Amino acid sequence: MIILKRGAWLAGVMTLVMAAGCATKVDRMEVEEVKDLSGQWNDTDSRLVSQEMIADVLSRPWVREFRAAKAQKPAVIVGEIRNLSHEHVNVNTFVGDMERELINSGEVQFVASRTERGEIREERLDQDLNASEESRKAMGKELGADFMLKGTINTIIDAEGKKSVRYYQIDLTLISLADNRKVWVGQKKIKKFVQKPGLRF
């Protein structure tokens, strides 16, 4: 009987040890820290590409030319960014990174997206019915965008065995809404060599 109890106790201890060994470990990281695990598109790619490409678009002549002609900052909206790559890319995060860079630059005015405008218009309509005359916001006074930023994300993957080269190409175009002129075309390329470890015994 004592032997059985001791065996059960030992089995319980071993179970706890094994469970502890398999427990998930989480380490906090700095947001700016680069950590590539799979080699796929990640938050670092999104942040660095948006910073570099927005810095480039804002340094081009179209900004100065518009301000000289209109005596005001150009109004910009981000249109569709299409993911044509081989993998899932969180385009919303990339768009958010670009919007932040544009707004914080102070060089342009930024117009709400189509989805955001729909929600705001519903609120404005509700104010027409329910808000006081002094506080309600009138319809028909929105700021129209002067330019739309559109783009694509493409990939080329060359793989053999446990090695692969992942090539990303991000193309962005800024288009004048007044006359469909392309006033800026930007491109960013990323190339990654990924080598997966072999089996270990």
Q: What are phi and psi of 52, to 5 degrees?
A: -70, -45
Mean pLDDT of 136-160: 92
Supply the pLDDT for residue 101. 94
Q: How far is CA 171 from CA 127, 149, 189, in A?
A: 41, 10, 9
Read off the pLDDT of residues 29-39 as tens digits, 9 standing for 90 and up: 565 655 666 66
pLDDT, position 5: 57
**Per-residue pLDDT, 32:** 62
Q: What is the pLDDT of residue 176?
A: 97
Higher per-residue confidence, 67 vs 40: 67
Work out the pLDDT band at 13, boundaries 50, 70, 90: low
Mean pLDDT score across all residues of the chain? 85
pTM: 0.77
Domain boundaries, the chain: 39-154+172-187
pLDDT value of position 37: 61
Tokens 């104010």 map to which residue?
127
Question: What tens digit of pLDDT does each residue of 57-89 get?
Answer: 999 999 999 999 999 999 999 999 999 998 888
Angstrom distance (rounded) from CA 119 to CA 108: 23
Residues of the chain above pLDDT 90, percent: 57
> Does the pLDDT value for residue 130 go beyond 80?
yes
Percent of the chain with pLDDT over 70: 80
DSSP string covering 24-65:
-------TT----SSSS--HHHHHHHHHHHHHHHHTSHHHHH
Fold of 39-154+172-187: Rossmann fold (3.40.50)
In this structure, how many other beta carbons lie within 10 angstroms of the beta carbon of residue 82? 14
When pLDDT is averaged across residues 110-115 and rounded to a whole number, the result is 89
